[in-house]
Amino acid sequence: MSFATLASLPAQEIFGGTIRGHYTHLDRLTVGEVELKAGTVVPSHQHPHEQVTYVLEGSFEFTVGGGTTLLGPGMAAIIPGGVLHGGRTLTV
């Protein structure tokens, strides 16, 4: 079992610096925390780790494996490893 305070991890930039956050990588799962501005685009990508995206506030249009869903506060998406996904922040 592991415990982490994400904000205490070194900040990392992804997608050419358009997104900055704190991440930790486990054997099969990446855990991270990011804060996105309205209009931020997360390019379609895939990785071997599973990902859970949980929205705290605002809205995020999320495309996973070809289907698009609007996520709002309290909603989550669970993405298996190897599945193409991306989206954009609509509101914060």
The full set of domain ranges for the chain reads 6-91
> What CATH class has 6-91?
mainly beta
How high is the pLDDT of residue 24? 85
Looking at the DSSP assignment, which residues form a beta bridge with residue 33? 22
Average pLDDT of span 48-76: 96
From 37, 32, 21, 39, select the one nearest 88 (Cα to Cα). Answer: 39
How high is the pLDDT of residue 61? 98
CA angle 43, 48, 49 (to 5 degrees): 90
Per the prediction, the chain carries an average pLDDT of 92
Looking at the DSSP assignment, which residues form a beta bridge with residue 52? 78
Is-contact 43 88, C-beta < 8 A? no
Average pLDDT of span 19-34: 88
